[in-house]
Amino acid sequence: MQTRAGWIALVLTGGLALAFAPAVGRAQFPNGLDVGGRDAPLFPLPLSSNRPEDGGFYTALEYKMLRMTKTIGNQPLAVRGFVDVDGSVQRDLGGSFIIVGTTVVFNPGPPGPPGAFLGSGAEALNVNQLATDWTYGPGYELTLGYRFENGWAVEANWTQIFSVKYTAGADSIPPGFAVGPVLADTFLFSPVVNFPIQYAGPASRLGVGNPGATYGIWNAASSMTEQYTQRYNEGNILGRYPVLTSDVSRTNVYVGYRFSWIWENFRWDTVARDFAGNATAADHAIYNNIVSNRMYGPFIGAGQEFYLGKGFAIELAIDQAAMLDIVKERATYSLADRSTEAKKQMVEYSFAPETEGKIDLTWYPTRGIQFRLGWDFMMFLNTVSNPYPVSFDFNNFNNFTNTAAGQPFAGLFNITHPIFERIAIRYMDAIHGGVTFTW
């Protein structure tokens, strides 16, 4: 807080000094980078020079807030209830206590049909619960460049947007405390199949039935959470040349090479507890679906800057990139103790063109300093994402179709989409603001 307060105080102090300093106004673009209203910096920094038309180095640091499209589909993950694998839960629920002499004895009822589902089967968790919010992620853009005497400029910039996470979950108590007549709806069920014995979960988690009657961590689970994480990076090396300059406007052409990286991770955690409420790392299953779009390619664009007066200018720019998309796709099932893992991993190559544009308002308070505030947009075509991220087939990672006719959830988990899927358009936009220094 002290550092932040000190920075704000410095900015305000500098702003007041600039506001009351004597001005020598200019109503046209000079040969340098500046469109200033002052002759020289008032700060004790080695900014600019007496001959800015000769060129020189410049650096910029901007704070950025970027928002990415969430390509999330409608895929149910869990319902309320559980499967009685061997029928012993139904047997014990149908039993009664009798007195034999002076001893109370439990008299089991008849075994129920194996594989019967107990509970309402109401949907408890869906991937689309992560799509309710859409927020901006914080980050920065750092630029280093050099302007030549003839007006050409070359620069390199790097954008880092930190991870944005969206979460949702389901636990023991359903909405409205609708727990069901035998508390069956306090448990969660997902139709994961084809898993090994390491994922069996606690042997007894109901207090009734045989050990293993609710076999599998995803059967009679206590809690489930889902999390969706996105982050973005971009790097550019470019050349800029002013092709047309007048007293009130300047037209620039941009040519360069771009790297863009979109990283997305869907994570699903399931915990099964025993009847006493205890769970170990071996009772905690984790599913991850990770998609990494790394795009490389050249771009070309143009920008138009208009001088508004009093040191202010506005710029409109747009460019088009032809990108090779190298997509790394990975899906895994694992335990929290990392003792075992099943995975599917592959790499795809495709063409993913991108359009990027911006609107910037720039203030040149003095020679060597620029303040900028603006809005960016980016549109990518033909990238890969994971809108239907979960395969319920543990070992094959194939589409899963529930064929259990007569169950309360029959048809709910029918999936016809692959766990990795190309999307036609991916949209992003960002708000940015920062300062540029010319040395």
Asked if residues 232 and 259 have their Cβ atoms less than 8 Å apart, the reply is no
Q: pLDDT over 70 for what percent of the chain? A: 84
Tens of pLDDT, residue by residue over 333-374, are: 999 999 999 999 999 999 999 999 999 999 999 888 999 999
> What average pLDDT does range 369-386 have in this prediction?
95
Cα 64 off chain centre by: 16
Asked if residues 37 and 362 have their Cβ atoms less than 8 Å apart, the reply is no
> What average pLDDT does range 133-146 have in this prediction?
93
Q: Which residue has the higher pLDDT, 377 or 398?
A: 377
The 8-class DSSP code of residue 222 comes to S
pLDDT beyond 50 at 255: yes
Q: What rounded mean pLDDT belongs to the chain?
A: 86
Label each residue of 69-112 as H, E or C: CCCCCCCEEEEECEEECCCHHHHHHCCEEEEECCEEEEECCCCC
Phi and psi of 328, rounded to 5°?
A: -100, 125
pLDDT, position 414 = 83
pLDDT beyond 90 at 74: yes
Positive/negative CA dihedral, 177, 183, 185, 186: positive
pLDDT beyond 80 at 284: yes
pLDDT, position 56 = 85
pLDDT, position 38 = 41
Q: Which residue has the higher pLDDT, 326 or 105?
A: 326
pLDDT, position 110 = 87
Its pTM stands at 0.85
pLDDT, position 427 = 94
pLDDT beyond 90 at 118: yes
| Confidence label for 390 from pLDDT (cuts 50, 70 and 90) | very high
User: What is the Rg, in whole angstroms, of the alpha carbon atoms belonging to the chain?
Assistant: 31
Distance CA 283, CA 273 (A): 7
| Confidence label for 119 from pLDDT (cuts 50, 70 and 90) | very high
Phi and psi of 114, rounded to 5°?
A: -60, 145
Q: Which residue has the tokens 């047309």?
A: 244
pLDDT beyond 50 at 12: no
Distance CA 238, CA 250 (A): 18
Q: Please report, for the chain, the start and end positions of each structural domain, with discontinuous segments joined by +.
A: 2-78+124-438, 82-118
> What average pLDDT does range 184-213 have in this prediction?
93
Q: Which residue has the higher pLDDT, 412 or 42?
A: 412
Tens of pLDDT, residue by residue over 318-331, are: 999 999 999 999 99
| Confidence label for 150 from pLDDT (cuts 50, 70 and 90) | confident
Instruction: Count the Cβ atoms, other than its own, within 10 Å of residue 416.
Output: 7
Tens of pLDDT, residue by residue over 211-246, are: 999 999 999 999 999 999 999 999 999 999 999 988
Integer CA distances (angstroms), 244 to 31, 78, 187, 306, 319, in order: 12, 61, 69, 12, 18
Q: pLDDT over 90 for what percent of the chain? A: 69
